[in-house]
């Protein structure tokens, strides 16, 4: 799924944060991208219910805010929301 396709699904604020009610509310748009990868069967590393994806060049092209990131970690919280684990 591309950034453009995600923007057709999700409303984001000026900081790129998803505003739609649902499990991705309050997360950056790129988390929807990585969650889509997961639900369609693609994972890099999945340990203890934490998904870790290596940020690829093509990811940085779509999401320039990931320029300095090496990995993204996310998980489904106990309330069903999808959250990014920061600090990586």
**For position 86, what pLDDT does the model report?**
84
* Residue 60 CA to its chain's centroid (Å): 12
What's the pLDDT tens digit per position in 58-81?
999 999 999 999 999 999 999 999
Residues in Cβ contact with 72 at an 8 Å cutoff, skipping those fewer than 6 apart: 30, 31, 34, 52, 53, 55, 66, 84, 88
Mean pLDDT of the chain: 94
Report the share of the chain in percent with pLDDT over 70.
98
**For position 31, what pLDDT does the model report?**
97
DSSP string, 62-81: H-GGGTT-SEEEEEE-TTS-
């Amino acid at each position: 799924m591309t950034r453009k396709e995600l923007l057709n699904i999700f409303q984001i604020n000026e900081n790129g944060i998803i505003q739609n009610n649902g499990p991705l509310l309050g997360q950056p748009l790129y988390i929807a991208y990585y969650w889509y990868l997961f639900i369609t069967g693609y994972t890099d590393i999945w340990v203890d219910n934490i998904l870790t994806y290596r940020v690829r060049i093509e990811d940085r092209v779509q999401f320039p805010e990931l320029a300095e990131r090496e990995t993204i970690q996310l998980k489904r919280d106990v309330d069903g929301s999808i959250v990014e684990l920061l600090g990586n």
